[in-house]
Amino acid sequence: MRSQIYHLLKSFLLSIKDDEEKSIIQHVDVWNNQLAFVEEEQPFSTPAVFVEFAPIHWKSQTRGVLDAEVDITLHIVTDSRVGKWDDALEAFDLIDNKIPPVLARIRKIAPTYSIGAFTRISSDSDHDHGELQDNTEVYRVHVQQSY
């Protein structure tokens, strides 16, 4: 299920365009604490979004059906040294006005799973950053999987 959620998120995040119809988000990947070892990590362009999955607590339904509320943290990373991203308000505009409407449109029903609407449940602004600013947004989504 995580793979399906990740691929949906990635395609929708990369679909966010600027006024010139270029993708705003430059990189999407799975979170692995990339900012702790930024010098050793593979380089990535910003703005970048890293997807972190909280532990999933599945509930067993009938006939091989499982469902869960899945919390997903999006690490929205901008480079405070370059271009418009040196202004924290530009990062907040991306977080508050560009990403939520796109994520609100995500829904997927497939033969063995379904992914519901993404609801933003918390925000944490990075007020103590160096070159890279890591603002986090937590979204919750209801999923169902059958075997």
pLDDT in tens, 45-99: 999 999 999 999 999 988 889 999 999 999 999 988 776 665 678 889 999 999 9
pLDDT, average across residues 11-32: 95
Token pair belonging to 95? 């977080």
Question: Given its phi and psi angles, is residue 46 left (phi above 0), alpha (psi -120 to 50 degrees) or beta?
Answer: beta
- SS3 state of residue 102: helix
CATH of the domain at 99: 3.30.2000.30
Q: How many domains does the chain have?
A: 1
135, pLDDT greater than 90: yes
pLDDT at position 116 is 94
Domain encompassing residue 36: 2-146
pLDDT at position 83 is 66
Strands 27-30 and 48-53, bridge-based pairing: parallel
pLDDT at position 81 is 78
pTM flag (> 0.75): yes
pLDDT at position 131 is 84
pLDDT at position 84 is 64
User: Does 28 or 64 have the greater pLDDT score?
Assistant: 28
| CB contact at 8 A, 58 and 39 | no
Return d(Cα 71, Cα 141) in angstroms, integer: 7
Return d(Cα 59, Cα 92) in angstroms, integer: 35
Return d(Cα 73, Cα 58) in angstroms, integer: 18
